[in-house]
Structure 1
């Protein structure tokens, strides 16, 4: 998942305990504590009992969908907005050019949308335009890549990169608990990204709980199929024997699996990252090395639309006592394996 940056691990957030499925169900019933709105809904639709409220125009600005996860972000936002008869979505053409995205957001500000949902190509570079929107009285839902100051957004919602690595490490550690001198390797993402550092730190911290498990190699790829294949081939050539692999990203994991198949290797277990449909399908088939993936759920974009609607209608969230939505929502990085893959299949991205 290129360039999306999680909150810093010291940032306080509200942790929802069941990944995006739980977050989507809770946020779907955004309400001002009216009894008719209290019933939570399925992940892909608003609460059935919820009636239309004040019309809300939501401006959505994200980066270019040049990666499966980013494309899923856009699709989740658009599909969620369609579920609400009282929501109009003004969506920009995604861009990785900072100046262009700033211009697109300024256009939305000038159109006087009611709420903005922004997944910035670069959180630091777009902080000023977030501040501009807030000062214009337009609340901002900052999605995943965080602005430099909380003054630039009303609510932040995103994934937990440290938790992603932590849960991957614990899953692998538990699977190798009875094996002495177990060896693991790591296929990371782009090393110049903060999110990659957080995922590796979480993974390393988890492995400290398993003295019988040792990480013997790490290679950084680039979140693409091609880089995943090339870097995995190098790891396989250098490591004739190991017990587990953690791959940070399911898109580059497609390439990694190609390299593994070409090498004829099946002597280890593999854990992926993000939640691609292809990974879910492989996990369900259970006839290869891929046994699990750790979520970085793109359904956060659907939840961001729920939050934006609630802000536009001055409502809170069903299931919480507060009259206002929280300032920060951190989604949980659930581990998906063959025991629960059916539950998450509908959220898998292509």
Structure 2
């Protein structure tokens, strides 16, 4: 019998006693323990550190959950191996935040077809062979960034300036969504020009620093930096500071962590950032709902919000 059907059948059997066993929105199944495996792409990036922290905190609220986190060390091959290991262990639920979409689609589908519920967090995979996606709307974040850039460089129809776009990762759909969203606004402005080559900076501060340093040698006139996350925006800022031109440039990123992006906006290092909520805690809650017999949606989209000089203080340290 398919694993998902077994889980649903079990929930129906216990339904008459739901008033006795329901807690925190899920069925405890008379003391049953659940083993959840989470394949995290890396634990180096600050946003990923917060991601894991939030997920562990949520898991700690549920004594019947044993959460196992595997660090893929930013490698697709290692992440595939971690997923295969979770499948072999017959985890009750598998979570994955993929390094890249195409490279992890196959193993996600394998787990799903084996009857293991799979929750894709943050970055998508190709197709729909998974239980649920939980994450922010990267296209919406890109639109917010694009609209902000146009507004602060002269307004619709009058915006002017050179923009450096710092890409997170060509293999990650999040980068393409943030780019596409921003271009819906920036692309309409004849006075705005993207300068520099399109380079994969892999979400890393040091790579963004090196890229920005190279761009400034060829294009000394830069008005805006649009980075796909805050660490890269900060790396670009440091390169501009070393060149003595940081005060002439607006730096815009995404993530909005309380002790990172929000602080940098408050200090005037970044001009703006947009909140990209970590999805682990919500993903875990959704999995418990499913195990309790509740019907869950295919996608859960988490909200975003812009952080600017005027409201940054309320996001710092929260």
Fold match (TM-score > 0.5): yes
Q: 1:190 to 1:123 in 2, by over 3 A?
A: closer
How many angstroms apart in 1 are the aligned matches of 2:210 and 2:306? 26
Q: How far, CA to CA, are the matches of 1:129 and 1:255 in structure 2?
A: 34
Aligned partner of 2:195 in structure 1 is 217
* 2:140 alignment partner, one of 163, 167, 180: 163
SS in 2 for 1:104: helix
Structure 1, gaps ≥5 residues long: 1-33, 36-48, 316-323
Partner residue, 1:280: 262
Task: Please tell me whether the aligned partners of residues 52 and 85 of structure 1 are also in contact (alpha carbons under 8 angstroms).
Answer: no
Q: What is the rounded CA distance, in whole Å, between the counterparts of 1:344 and 1:83 in structure 2? A: 25
- Cα displacement (A) at 1:169: 0.8
Given the alignment, which residue of 88, 106, 115 partners 2:93? Answer: 115
TM-score by length of 2: 0.77
- State yes or no: 1:252 paired with 2:252: no
1:334 matches 2:305 = yes
User: Given the alignment of the two structures, is residue 177 of structure 1 paired with residue 154 of structure 2, yes or no?
Assistant: yes
Superposition RMSD on alpha carbons, in Å? 3.0
User: Runs of at least 4 residues of structure 1 off by over 6 A?
Assistant: none
Distance change (3 Å), C-alpha of 1:268 and 1:130: closer
Match of 1:202 among 152, 156, 181: 181
Aligned residue in 2 for 1:77: 55
- Higher helix fraction (1 or 2): 2
Give, in whole Å, the separation in 1 of the partners of 2:194 and 2:79: 41
Whether the aligned pair in 2 keeps the contact of 1:98 and 1:126 (CA below 8 Å) is yes
Q: Does 1:303 align with 2:282?
A: yes
Larger Rg: 2
Q: Does structure 2 conserve the Cα–Cα contact (< 8 Å) formed by 1:167 and 1:333? A: no
Query: Using the alignment, how far apart are the partners of 1:85 and 1:67 within structure 2?
Result: 28
Range that drifts further, 261-270 or 184-193: 184-193
Gaps of 5+ in 2: 1-17
Shift of residue 239, structure 1, vs aligned partner: 3.7
Q: How far did 1:328 drift?
A: 1.2
* Equivalent of 2:252 in 271, 278, 281: 271
1:284 and 1:79 map into 2 onto residues whose CA distance is 27
Could you tell me how far 1:82 is from its partner in structure 2?
1.5
Please give the residue correspondences for 1:35-54 in structure 2 after superposition, counting only pairs within 5 Å: 50=24, 53-54=27-28
Give the number of equivalent residue pairs: 288
